[in-house]
Chains A and B, each alone.
Chain A
Amino acid sequence: MVETLRPRRRFRQPSVIPGFGLTFGYALTCLGLVVLLPLAALVARASGLGLSGILEVASDPRVASALKVSFGVSLVAALVASVFGFLVAWVLTRYRFPGRRLVDAVVDLPFALPTAVAGIALASLYAPNGLVGEQLEKIGIKAAYTPVGIFIAMVFIGLPFAVRTVQPLIAEIDKEIEEASATLGATRWRTLTRVVLPPLIPAVLTGFALAFARGVGEYGSIIFIAGNLPYVSEIAPLLIVIKLSEFDYGGAAAIATIMLAISFLTLLLINLIQAWSRRRFGYV
């Protein structure tokens, strides 16, 4: 019934505002030349290798171990970043303490600080003779030049994602439902775990996925602290750089394709979580 009332479907709905053709065309041209064309070059190179070619590169022990380090360590780092990110977001939105705004601004530091600068700072802090590295050494933990160092760098750059995705949702929680829960006799712990936390889970998962994706692709803040020992602390992005310096464009493209495929799956997962969240809780 409604269908018959609708005007004929067209690409763009009519509007009195001018400039659609110009701005849309310009934006599309930029997008095509700067983003889509270069990415197409990668797709072309990867499809030239074929699935078997890509799998062959991935089965090389050094590549396989670099992928394992990148994805494995990033998973653990994203987990830790999510837990502490949630804590930081909760403290920043729910509690009032002196210097709260300063602490809030500090959370964005990894966004603002160039990765190379963060990288050399972390490396010198966690080196065996560094301020923190020395203390860790005493309790038997070697941080720099091991996967532990990679983990530290990934937590550093993943944290803001974890904080900033849950923070606005914590701020929006309706305190009346907490009061209702308390009135009905629930302890504070029970209110938190049964009433407050469940609607926040999608946001926590989104933050986790963002931190994970960022950790997998991260390069600058990791390479200085990682030591880059093949089979031990060599990350996949570094291997792409090494392949390129050997003019092995195919190998570099294959590793990049595998990384992109997994990042794409992560993004898809985020979208699914958000769609589920919209159905379940009515918001993202």
Chain B
Amino acid sequence: MSETLVPASFAAADRAAAPPASVVTEGGSVRWLLTGVAILFLALFLVLPLVTVFAQAFAKGFDAYLAAFREPDAWSAIRLTLTVAAIAVPFNLVFGVAASWAIAKFEFVGKSLLITLIDLPFSVSPVVSGLIYVLLFGSQGLFGVFLAEHGIQILFALPGIVLATIFVTFPFVARELIPLMQEQGTAEEEAALTLGASGFHTFLTVTLPNIRWGLLYSVLLCNARAMGEFGAVSVVSGHIRGLTNTIPLHVEILYNEYNFVAAFAVATVLAGLALVTLVIKSVLEWRYADELASGRAH
């Protein structure tokens, strides 16, 4: 670090073998200017909003903050969000492992098409992700009449919220595991099978340990998105207070009622989750960069 700040001629004189640092980087003042601009930009655009969440939540003191959690509606929102994530994340975990096993360990026709289709939900607007389920299960939807006749409630109820959440988080696990398992190849599994292990035993004792950090990494991101999803869930939930409001929807309602302290107080739960997610994610990236899909190490 300090050597790059010394003028090139001195550095060259000091360490004859090393090339002068200034050839492959910008001048010292330019470096500091660019670093300053970048950090200022990130502070203003990314960090300030996060700080605002906590500042606003505690603006009227700790009691006012806690008051937001004395509302039964807040607790039912927290319960619903936990329930939705508890269904959606394991579903996508099993799907992701199955899909990446089929895609990474075998060669078949149409593989890249399959990968593209799995990635599709990432390029669909959250609102459209909700809309497609309304078109399927809504009163004028494809199955609307059938569902109404049989008294099955999907939209404006838990199943609809879970489905929309699964849709928006669908690619998370698969897109992390596919490149990771492709990199690792099939040699270790073949060795285990040759030595007489069963397929399932091979998966548990050979494949799973190899992908565990990638799995944890992707589940972490999947969970953060599942708990924080707003657009898609907002379209299918129907905003029934105390019944179909997840935490983000509860935040929206409080904010629109000008109950700012309570809105930001409940938002701190999600912001805290985001911070914990970022910390664990960063730790995984630093410590286990080799065991995550390539391109993550930096």
**Chain A residues engaging chain B, CB cutoff 8 angstroms:** 11-13, 15-20, 22-24, 26-28, 30-31, 34-39, 41-42, 44-45, 84, 87-88, 90-97, 101, 103-125, 131-132, 152, 155-156, 159, 167-168, 171, 175, 178-179, 182-183, 188, 213, 216-220, 224, 237-238, 240-241, 244, 247, 249, 252-253, 256, 259-260, 263-264, 267
Contacts and interface: CB of A to CB of B under 8 A. Distances in A.
A35 B117 contact: yes
A114 B124 CA distance: 17
A224 B219 CA distance: 29
B118 A108 contact: no
A156 B50 CA distance: 12
A263 B46 contact: no
A106 B46 contact: yes
B49 A114 contact: no
A117 B298 contact: no
B203 A45 contact: no
Interface in B181-217: 186, 189-190, 193-194, 199, 203
B231 A115 contact: yes
Given A35-B170, A132-B48, A24 B102 contact: yes
A158 to B, nearest CB: 10
B118 to A, nearest CB: 6
Given A118-B49, A219-B230, A16 B128 contact: no
Instruction: Choose among B41, B163, B186 the residue with the greatest number of A CB atoms under 10 Å from its CB.
Output: B41
12 contacts: A12-B109, A15-B186, A28-B114, A39-B120, A87-B41, A109-B47, A113-B50, A114-B224, A114-B274, A125-B49, A237-B125, A264-B123
Contacts, number: 304
A283 to B, nearest CB: 12
Main SS at interface, chain A: helix
B128 A240 contact: yes
Contact of A30 (B44, B47, B50, B95): B95
Contacts of A106: 42, 46-47
Contact of A117 (B34, B42, B53, B286): B53
Contacts of B47: 106, 109
Given A34-B166, A95-B35, A109-B47, A244 B102 contact: no
Contacts of B120: 35, 39
B121 interface: yes
Nearest to A267: B123
A13 B107 contact: yes
Nearest to B140: A249
Interface in B40-98: 41-42, 44-50, 52-53, 56, 91, 94-95, 97-98
Contacts of A105: 278-279, 281-282
Given A182-B23, A219-B231, A244-B235, A16 B136 contact: no
Contacts of B39: 91, 103
Given A41-B141, A87-B38, A249-B135, A23 B101 contact: yes
Contact of B221 (A90, A111, A159): A111
B126 A39 contact: no
Instruction: Choose among B23, B49, B50, B106 the residue with the greatest number of A CB atoms under 10 Å from its CB.
Output: B49
B234 interface: yes
Given A17-B186, A23-B102, A159-B46, A12 B108 contact: yes
A94 B127 CA distance: 39
Instruction: Choose among A13, A35, A256 the residue with the greatest number of B CB atoms under 10 Å from its CB.
Output: A35
B125 A117 contact: no
B24 A175 contact: yes
Contacts of B282: 101, 104-105
A27 B99 contact: yes
Instruction: Choose among B23, B38, B102, B252 the residue with the greatest number of A CB atoms under 10 Å from its CB.
Output: B38
A12 B106 contact: yes
A109 B46 contact: yes
Contacts of A155: 45
Contact of A36 (B117, B127, B203, B229): B117
A17 B106 CA distance: 8
A266 to B, nearest CB: 8
B147 interface: no
A252 B271 CA distance: 32
